[in-house]
Amino acid sequence: MDITSMALKKIKELRESKGYTMQEVADGINYKTGKGYFDIETGKTKLKLEHLEMLAKFYGVPINIFFADDITETVTNKAG
């Protein structure tokens, strides 16, 4: 799996684990539209560092979470 695919997978996993809809995340990161965010999460729009920065800030997690093997472990380690 390449780094972009890994990050996209983690973005979706994190959103789902927190119980957010795509529209809620789009609103939370002040993204243009829910459709625009959908295009990012599904890889239709090229993933940029600024997207990861906004998402990390929104979720209150370090940016490296999008490249970690286990989200639960990374979030737990940050909190502990």
Domain holding 43: CATH number? 1.10.260.40
Provide the residue range defining the domain that includes 71.
3-79
pLDDT at position 2 is: 84
pLDDT at 74: 46
Mean local confidence (pLDDT), 16-28? 95
* Helix (H), strand (E), coil (C) string for 8-77: HHHHHHHHHHHCCCHHHHHHHCCCCCHHHHHHHHCCCCCCCHHHHHHHHHHHCCCHHHHHCCCHHHHHHH
The predicted structure's pLDDT at residue 46: 94
pLDDT at residue 38, as a whole number = 95
First to last CA, the chain: 29
Number of domains in the chain: 1
